[in-house]
Structure 1
Amino acid sequence: MTATATKPKTTNKSAKTQSVGQDVVRLDGPQKVTGTAPYAYEQPVKNPAYLFPIVSTIGLGRIKRIEDAEARKVEGVLDILTHRNAYKLQPSRSAELQVLQSPDVHYRGELLGAVIADTPEAARYAASLVRISYDEAEQDTTFKFDHPALYTPKKVNAGGDPDSILGDVDAALKKAKHKIEASYSHTMQFHSAMEPHSAIAIWEGEKSVTLYDTSQGAAAWRATLAPLLGLEAAQLQVISPFVGGGFGSKGVPHAPTVLTLLAARLVSPRPVKLMLTRQQHFFNVGYRPEIHQRWRLGADADGQLGAIAQNVTETTSKVLEFAEQTVSPTRVMYAAPNRETTTRLVPLDLPPATFMRAPGEFPGMFALEIAMDELAEECGLDPIEFRLQNEPERDPENDKPFSVRLLKDCLTQGAKKFGWERRKAVGGRKEGEWLYGMGVAAATYPHHKPNASCKIVFQKGKYHVQIGAADLGTGAWTILAQAAADALEVGLADIKLEIGQGDLPLAGLAGGSMGTYNWTNAIWHAAQAFRGAHGDDPKAGAEAEGKTVNTEQAGTYSKHTFGAHFAEVKVSTVTGEVRVTRMLGIYDGGRIVNPRTARSQFLGGMTMGISAALHEEAYLDPRFGEVVNHDLAGYHVAAHADIPAIEVHWIEEPDPQFGPLGAKGLGEVGITGVPAAVSNAIYNATGKRLRDLPFTPDKLLE
């Protein structure tokens, strides 16, 4: 695996780069490799009690009776929490968080209670003895295109419009010389982070609560949870200095966190600890919903796109709506005068979904980039040539100029580095039982409007940089210190970074690939305020605050990160097995704050993309509303042996519209085009077009 960067075309004159851009080893690395970095479940608390959930065994209905006498006899059991003795929560916008507030059952696996005990073993055993009887109702968990309750959401995730129409797609398709129509789909997908979801809650009196949790944004969580508990924000402290992966599942609080808070109130002031089993993750912390897409594309005799139409239908929970913004990348990627994107939801009796790495862009680009390959073949053009030919000069839907868009460079430079010229015709390379092929796909992820605050305090000879950021293993502990050092024009050793606590200045989530440019923007402006107020020789206790500031021109640009993925695969003619043998990613990522952590993000994204492309598949049994392969034995996530040699490259050109450092978001763009590149490589190897994730052997042997 390698990482290289071309020389920047421009420099950011507003920043002195002493630390930024340097290959700084992770500052939190020693704690992690020595096991001294405290994750949520490992936080030191005195005499904790342990919690084990009781979950629904039906898909829809109402609790009729709870029999817990035998469970209460188990040695060490302190109490059993159900809707009968749960604390009354305040109304909230999220029905998912209204835990144990009624006897109603909304989906299989829903939290209906919990056992609190002196040991985790006692809690788990006692929970197995609790018997619940129900008045069961008929559930609906089957996806149907003609579902009678099908509807159009008002907005999709991140606030976009569900539909957009420009021109006349139907008329343009009738005139098109070359056209395709195809459908693409994937099942539910699950985050499966290395660190299980866990929490410790402590109630000290009626108005003082401490929560240790696996959170992608402690300050944002406090803002959500405090009102739910009837507390002021200052009465709830959320602490999450280290997170072992999240990928969106830890972006917002879920029901297990509320369950832990309710249990802790019941046995206050004793701390209560919860760690979900891997099986419980598949019902209670979100997932990417099932999504089906119908695509129609048309081009003229020269291969110029005239029409793009994407019609998306996806599932949502009746408990809480989640509409994946699958249509978003289509609106920005390629030039075509006639355009249509639509989103429809099928409400089912399923657990709530949530955002998962590259929400919208992942499923949208998976289908778009396969469809583009199909039309390129129909036009008789090389897939890269076809994409370059249809590059837009301005944003195709809002007509704004792009701030920095180097997709052409990513495609052309990536092709040269990958050896695209050695690509054979379909089925043209065979070695023994293996067919080999190459594929390409573009990648993108948008800029999200940031909102962060930062406070800098000078104490004991160090600059304490306080910001409610979170580090999910992405390197925030390191890169934010680097940015602060340059903004204050001091050495890295002079910075004391403080993140991962809810009482720090609100900084938004570590999600949406906006953490780095959002947080460093706030840090930069806090540093300017600090120097303006206190100069270069501050006194002890000197402080200043700053917040994210957008440039005056920011709203006039279309702002995105771009990239290209290249994949080589081999396919067995005997078993249908697919192996990715090589992969290369090249990205237009703005200024790279730390090449070590940037490379890690790109590698992680491509690894997750290969996993989704070849392995990850949920099997939902509609009779019970249950994902039957709800563990890591049945739901396979890529292991080391599944991942080939991966090359990472980037073209570094700072984008000032993203913030003072010119850094773009990197966390999600590494995954968005990967499954499409794999699918296109499979086609080049075999002549078989796969449009449904994952690309398992049975689909090649049909």
Structure 2
Amino acid sequence: MLNHSRIVGFPFSRIEGPLKVTGQAHYAAEHHAPGLLHGFVAVSTVAAGSIAEIDTAEAERFPGVVKVYTHENRPQTAESDDKWKDTAAVPGHPFRPLENGRILYDGQPVALVIAEGFEAARDAASLIRIRYIADEPHTDILRERRQSYVPAEPRGESMVPPPPRGEPEQAFAAAPCTVSAEYVLEGEHHNPMELFGTTVLFENGGLTIHDKTQGPQNTQAYVCNVFGLDPEKVKVRNDFVGGAFGAGLRPKHQLFLAVMASLDLQRPVKVELSRREMFYLTWRPATVQRVSLAADRDGRLQSVMHHAVQATSRYEDYQENVVNWSGLAYRCDNVRLSYELAKLDVSTPGDMRAPGAATGVTALETAMDELAYEVGIDPLELRRRNFADHDQNQGKQFTSKALDACYREGAARFGWDRRSFSPRSMREGHDLVGWGMAGGVWEASIAPAEARVRLSVDGAVTVSAAASDIGTGTYTILGQIAAETFGVPLGRVKVEIGDSTLPKTGVEGGSRTAASSGSAVQVASKAAVKTLLAHAKGMPNSPLARASEEDVSISEGRLVLERNHQIGLSIGDIMDAAGVSFIEEHGKIEPDEAQMKKFISYTHSAVFVEVKVDEDLCIPRVTRVVSAIAGGRILNPKTARSQILGGVVMGIGMALHEEGMIDHRTGRIMNHNLAEYHMPAHADIEDIEVVFVEEEDDKVSPIGAKGLGEIGIVGVAAAVSNAIFHATGKRIRHLPITVDRILGA
């Protein structure tokens, strides 16, 4: 079954864009109802210890206050840890808001004020008096790594380092060219534009919960388990999500608090967190890594050793795949990878755009640059000489790998052949100019997903799935896939997502949604065409009586033979004859377990960066970036490019700006606002060029697409760091690379 309308692959603008830019798109905290109550969360001012006394009397007397909740009067909820674990949970004891008086981290919620208005709740919260018994906080990973440990319960099989192969220590000792260095990454904080908020409404005898989440069905299951509610009476919606980057994979405490208060008071309740509170939620954990590489005099790797210690909370073992990338990115027969955790008095970290890879690949790619200078060859040539043609960690073939094309096309666009080898050899006025590059890799996979597609008698199409759109373009991509199958303009497709009652999908994360839900939509769409053909075959003297699915397509409202569009029947006539006004079919997709035993899939990238560093002031600026991406079939070049642009900007932030500053004497975050937590602004971003190389992959997903949300950031920080070395001759191994660190190098 072919179609030549060619909607997939074209750069359509987002179909929900007009709603967003005109303010008609309502986010989680923008829903209202008569009698709506507002909540405000009071947070701890110590990082470790316990509450000795909490006095809420003055807050309760404040005009407009309905109730104040603390650990002393919180309603009962589920006891078992299993009831509190969502689908994205990690090993350990999930955080339970207001469970007891113990303080686990700075900014922990210690009370909830519910009032008739937001201002009343906020002002009353300031009147709560709390006396703490503070313990000495332990928040410095550089100090606490000495107490690190291997997690007893892995978060997932893919995060467990593979066993050593070959003889890495002996090969390292015998090699003529070696580097071994420690790399430190400070913690970064998710800061999407939309604050975390939840609005709980009473509708149709149940609850309708508008929540900022990357998975409405995950939120629904969490709420039902924790509060013992009937899933049939709990609907969760997240029609629009103002960014998340992984922060919305797990339910946040405002969800629990809003539902708790609403059920207790039997009134609609809204709780929205402040920007300050966003810093106490998920974050990319601080990490210390040791990477040791050895090569022969031609630059061919002889040994790779990568060890990482990563921060987690006292109550959960958050884990990432940090070191495994070093065993598959380049060909090497002698490899040892190891990973440990350090318990700190902090909130549990969380997935933040390319979790693990953004951290581990940064260290690996910086070490590769160092090795290139140790060997004395071009950094790009070093990578080419160590090209891996299969995954040595798992002994599997790649479904596709167009990294060579990324190297070639990215270098050509950037002008890499004009780069001089020696550091401090390129200048422009008072600026030292540096060119650096790095490779990137991220897993490409699909998750189980379902979708429903309805073709109406007038040719209109409706696509339904519980998938989320966190700004990635899910609405548009799903619409394009259906529009192409049914031969209709994109404007004739209505896309319904972000609703827990719709066909089941996983959380929107891991760069899997387009490939997973998109494939499910394609399966459902083809099933609808198959049903339409079956109806057509049953018509008297049907010109399609002997046609197969492969022979037909839909064009201009008719089911026609692909070889001759003059032969066919109108959709209206087919449905009239069948006595139906629409055809609705369900599509389901799951990973191919048999195929996964032999093949594995990744997206790849090559990132080229130009920096200019003022020789006197040591202020670095990223002036040019070329990011070449091998991401399989590109469903929409416009939304795809936006994903890579966003990833590059976040990578620049990781390299030069973002750092959660903790006063380790108190364990408190000092820069919990957007004035002092630095992120790239418009003035920090100059020219970014995105190149999508040709890559066909018939195994990664039924629609041939690989994810793009994550790969855009992987390797960017390393490329910036390598460019700064090329410009200044100073190797900075502590991110972010700020002026003081350049001056002190």
Contact 1:15 1:660 in 2 (8 A): no
Does the 8 A contact of 1:310 with 1:342 survive in 2? Answer: yes
Is this contact kept in 2: 1:199–1:273, CA < 8 A? yes
Does 2:415 correspond to 1:427?
no
Match of 1:253 among 251, 263, 268: 251
**Cα pair 1:15 1:661 within 8 Å, conserved:** no
Report Cα offsets for 1:410-435 as digits up to 9, x if no partner. 01211111011121221112233210
Among residues 550, 563, 571, which one is paired with 2:605 in the alignment?
A: 563
**1:68 aligns to 2:56 (yes or no):** yes
Distance 1:460 1:109 in 2: 56
* Corresponding residue for residue 69 of structure 2: 81
Between 1:285-294 and 1:163-172, the stretch displaced more is 163-172
2:47 and 2:304 mapped to 1: Cα distance?
A: 39
Instruction: Tell whether the 8 Å contact from 2:148 to 2:340 is kept in structure 1 after alignment.
Output: no
1:26 and 1:478 in contact (8 A); partners too: yes
1:234 aligned to 2:223? no
Look up the match of 1:371: 367
Structure 1 pair 232/16, CA: closer, same or farther in 2 (3 Å)? Answer: farther
Structure 2 match to 1:547: 588
For 1:163 and 1:185, the matched residues in 2 are separated by 23
SS at structure 2 position matched to 1:657: coil
Q: Which residue of 2 aligns with 1:266?
A: 264
Q: Distance in 2 between matches of 1:146 and 1:478?
A: 45
| Aligned residue type for 2:678 | H
Which residue of structure 2 aligns with residue 244 of structure 1? 242
Q: Which moved more, 1:543-552 or 1:580-589?
A: 543-552
Does the alignment pair 1:455 with 2:452? yes
CA contact (8 A) 1:452 1:547 kept: yes
Equivalent in 323, 326, 349 of residue 327 of structure 1:
323
Q: Quickly say closer, same or farther: Cα 1:544–1:420, change in 2 above 3 A.
A: same
User: 2:311–2:344: 8 Å Cα contact kept in structure 1?
Assistant: yes
8 Å CA contact 1:158–1:325 kept in 2: the answer is no
Contact 1:585 1:648 in 2 (8 A): yes
| Match in the other structure for 1:9 | none
- The one-letter code of the counterpart of 1:181 is S
Give the residue type in structure 2 aligned to 1:383. Answer: P
Correspondence for 2:501? 503
Q: Is 23-32 or 104-113 further displaced after alignment?
A: 104-113
How many residues align structurally?
A: 687
- Tell me the distance in 1 between the aligned counterparts of 2:77 and 2:5: 49
**Which of 338, 341, 345 is equivalent to 1:345?**
341
Q: Identify the match of residue 466 of structure 1 among 450, 464, 467.
A: 464
Mapped partners of 2:703, 2:453: distance in 1:
18
Shift of 1:557: 1.2
CA contact (8 A) 2:95 2:315 kept: no
Q: Does 1:281 align with 2:323?
A: no
1:669 matched to 2:711: yes
Q: 2:364 aligns to what SS in structure 1?
A: helix
Paired with 1:204 and 1:63, the residues of 2 have a C-alpha distance of 38
Partner deviation per Cα, 1:460-496 (whole Å, 9 max, x = no partner) = 7433211111111111111110012223444323322
**Aligned equivalent of 2:177:** 178
Identity %: 37
The gaps in structure 2 that reach 5 residues or longer are 86-92, 534-558, 560-570
The CA deviation at 1:681 is 0.6
Q: Does 1:142 align with 2:140?
A: yes
Instruction: Please report how far the alpha carbon of residue 598 of structure 1 lies from its aligned counterpart in structure 2 after TM superposition.
Output: 0.6
Matches of 1:171 and 1:119 in 2, distance apart?
Answer: 68
| Letter of the 1:633 counterpart | A
What TM-score comes out, normalization by structure 1 length?
A: 0.94
Q: CA deviation at 1:157?
A: 5.6
The aligned counterpart of 1:165 is 164
Residue 109 of structure 1 and its aligned partner are, at CA, apart by 1.1
Provide the rounded CA distance (Å) in 1 between the counterparts of 2:144 and 2:132.
31
Indicate how the Cα distance of structure 1 residues 14 and 158 shifts in structure 2: closer, same or farther if over 3 A, else same.
farther
Task: Flag structure 1 segments of 5+ consecutive residues without an equivalent.
Answer: 1-12
User: Out of 107, 130, 142, which is 2:105 matched to?
Assistant: 107
Match of 2:721 in 1: 679
Secondary structure of the corresponding residue to residue 164 of structure 1: coil
Question: Does residue 1:92 correspond to 2:81, yes or no?
Answer: yes
Classify 1:697/1:153 alpha carbon distance in 2 versus 1 (closer, same or farther; 3 Å). Answer: farther
CA contact (8 A) 2:66 2:114 kept: yes
Distance 1:234 1:242 in 2: 23
Which shifted more, 83-92 or 560-569?
A: 83-92
Q: 1:467-616 residue pairs with structure 2 within 5 A?
A: 467-535=465-533, 537=571, 538=575, 539-551=580-592, 553-616=595-658
Contact 1:219–1:505 under 8 Å retained in 2:
no
Q: Could you tell me how far 1:328 is from its partner in structure 2? A: 3.0
Question: Equivalents in 1 of 2:168, 2:591: separation in Å?
Answer: 36
Report the CA distance shift for 1:146/1:276 in structure 2 as closer, same or farther (over 3 A).
closer
Match of 1:113, SS state, is strand
* Contact 1:156–1:325 (CA under 8 A) maintained in structure 2: no
Structure 1 counterpart of 2:666, from 617, 620, 624: 624
CA RMSD of aligned residues (A): 1.9
> Could you tell me the TM-score, scaled by structure 2's length?
0.89
Aligned counterparts of 2:633 and 2:625: Cα–Cα separation in 1: 23
Q: Larger deviation: 424-433 or 114-123?
A: 424-433
Query: Amino acid of the residue matched to residue 37 of structure 1?
Result: A
CA offsets 1:645-673 (integer angstroms, 9 cap, x no match): 11111113232222222111101111011
Q: Are 1:67 and 1:132, in contact at CA under 8 Å, matched by a contact in 2?
A: yes
For residues 569 and 108 of structure 1, what CA distance do their matches in structure 2 show? 37
Q: Helix, strand or coil for the counterpart of 1:309? A: strand
Structure 1 residues 671 and 112, CA gap change in structure 2 (3 angstroms): same
> Which amino acid in the other structure matches residue 372 of structure 2?
A
Seen in structure 2, the aligned counterparts of structure 1 residues 37 and 545 have a Cα distance that, compared at 3 Å, is: same
What is the SS of the residue equivalent to 2:189?
coil
2:433 corresponds to which letter in structure 1?
A: Y
How far does residue 152 in structure 1 lie from its aligned partner after superposition? 3.2
Matched position secondary structure for 2:312: strand
Query: Could you tell me how far apart the structure 2 residues matched to 1:641 and 1:201 are?
Result: 40
> For 1:240 and 1:624, how far apart are their aligned partners in 2?
37
Residue deviations 1:68-97, cap 9 Å, x none? Answer: 111112111111111233222213344444
C-alpha separation between the residues in 1 aligned to 2:206 and 2:226?
A: 14
Deviation at 1:631, TM superposition (A): 0.8
- Is contact 1:241-1:501 (8 Å) kept? yes
The match for 1:643 is 685
Residue 438 of structure 1: how far off its partner (Å): 0.3
Amino acid at match of 1:310: H
Q: Deviations over 1:573-621 (max 9, x none)?
A: 1111000011110111111111110111111110111111111111111
Q: Which of 199, 211, 214 is residue 212 of structure 2 equivalent to?
A: 214
Q: Are the counterparts in 2 of residues 617 and 694 from structure 1 also a CA contact under 8 Å?
A: yes
SS of the residue corresponding to residue 18 of structure 2 reads helix
Provide Cα deviations, 1:145-192, integer angstroms capped at 9, x if missing partner. 653363334324674214531111101111111111001011110010
Contact kept? 1:606, 1:671, Cα under 8 Å: yes
Contact 2:144 2:343 survives alignment (8 Å): no
1:14/1:660 contact within 8 Å kept: no
Measure the CA separation in 1 of the matches of 2:510 and 2:138: 32
Shift of 1:107: 1.7
CA deviation string 1:509-556 (max 9, x = no partner): 211111100111111112233333343645235322121144553442
Q: Identify the match of residue 25 of structure 2 among 22, 37, 40.
A: 37
Cα distance in structure 2, aligned partners of 1:282 and 1:615: 16
Preserved CA contact (<8 Å) 1:324 1:359:
yes
